[in-house]
Amino acid sequence: MRKTSSSYIVFAVMIVLTMLLSACQTKEVVKTVEVEKVVQQTVEVEKVVQQTVEVEKVVEKTVQVQVEKVVEVTPTAVPPTATSEPVQIGNDANPIIMALAPSATSQELQTGGQAIADKLAELTGYVIKISVPTNYAALVEAMGSGNAHIGWLPPLAYMLAKYKGYADVGLAVLRSGSDHYGFQYVANTARVDADGKPMFTSYYDAATGKSTADAATALAQFSGKKPCWTDPLSASGYVLPSGLLASSSVKVKSGAWVQGHPTVITSVYLSPNGEICDFGATYVDARTAVTKNFPDVNDKVQIIYISDPIIPNDNVSFAANVPAEVRQKITDALIEISSTEEGRTLLKNGGYDIGGLAKVDDTFYDEFRAYLDAAGYDVTNFK
């Protein structure tokens, strides 16, 4: 009985050992299977990588082929720059635009300019509209951009437009029978110094229309004072007056840009205590442009100094691409208008005090160009 029990015990132990051994083998098998799975996944990844590389090679070859094809394409020709080819203008779809220099008041230009445009339309059959650019530089650019076909241009604005290939002169304005004019310095007669004495002395003789002293003597009193200017491209409202001050060694304060000769006169008139500026510069005699609003302007605003008539008058210019036929019809119509008293009144009311018109070409400005060269001023440097 005891032997049998021992046999059972031995048998049981063997079974346990067998189970333990089997369990260990099972774990090893599981581990082996897991390793094989990892190996298999690694191989599959390597295959994917290999396929990706092969795809990239194909893509690279495709890109190279595409690049080669692109390189073989003939480049598109660069379009030519704008030319001055004639354009069809003067109809409802494309009216002639007449641009007016902003050297007078806006209301004068709008009213007077429209009256001139209406008369031109009556004589030529063209559809004509007016435009008043904000300053001389904008006027110049309008002539080159197609935003103006006819321009009433001050001399420096015309010279810059001509240099850029934007405009050709057709007519020069006449005032009192002259096609040239001078500039003047003006000041308010009420200005007094700390002692109550007049601040400014006039060196102008109204009887002869001449200055009674040299520029250095007359202008010295403006030292340290504030000027009123019209526009950076105005010959009489800035360029020559400021240049003469500099050449006379007279240093002034930074100026007030008030835009327009009548506006300079008005600003000086309204500055008995230097509210806007101490003095101003305009064409001779811009005071007549404001007598309707200020009848006593000649008493309140005095001329201090006047230059010789060295500046060419304003002109009528045509944009470079305006057809010759249109130029001729407009020119003939303006000459016809200026040949009658009624027409000259119409032109004078246009804001520029026009007394007549005369045909000129670009050589009309040669003498003035020489004067500017001698003074060291180059209009082509204007920005």
Query: Residue 87: what pLDDT?
Result: 63
Q: Go through the domains of the chain in sequence order and give each one's CATH number.
A: 96-179+312-378 (3.40.190.10), 183-308 (3.40.190.10)
Report the pLDDT value the prediction gives residue 86, as an integer from 0 to 100: 59
At 373 the pLDDT is 86
pLDDT at 22: 44
pLDDT of residue 102: 85
Q: What is the pLDDT of residue 105?
A: 67
Would you state the pLDDT for residue 104?
A: 66
Per-residue pLDDT tens digits of the chain, which is 383 residues long: 444 444 444 444 354 444 444 444 444 333 333 434 433 443 443 443 344 334 344 334 433 433 333 333 333 333 334 445 556 899 999 999 999 988 766 777 888 889 999 999 999 999 999 999 999 999 999 999 999 999 999 999 999 999 999 999 999 999 888 999 999 999 999 999 999 999 999 999 999 999 999 999 999 999 999 999 999 989 999 999 999 999 999 999 999 999 889 999 999 999 999 999 999 999 999 999 899 999 999 999 999 999 999 999 999 999 999 999 999 999 999 999 999 999 999 988 876 778 899 999 999 999 999 989 888 888 887 65
Helix, strand and coil content of the chain, in percent to the nearest 5, comes to 50, 15, 35
pLDDT at 33: 37
Instruction: Characterize the bridge pairing of strands 279-283 and 227-229.
Output: parallel
Paired with 205 in beta bridges are: 210
d(CA 330, CA 114) in angstroms, rounded, equals: 15
**How far is the C-alpha of 289 from the C-alpha of 352, rounded, in Å?**
9
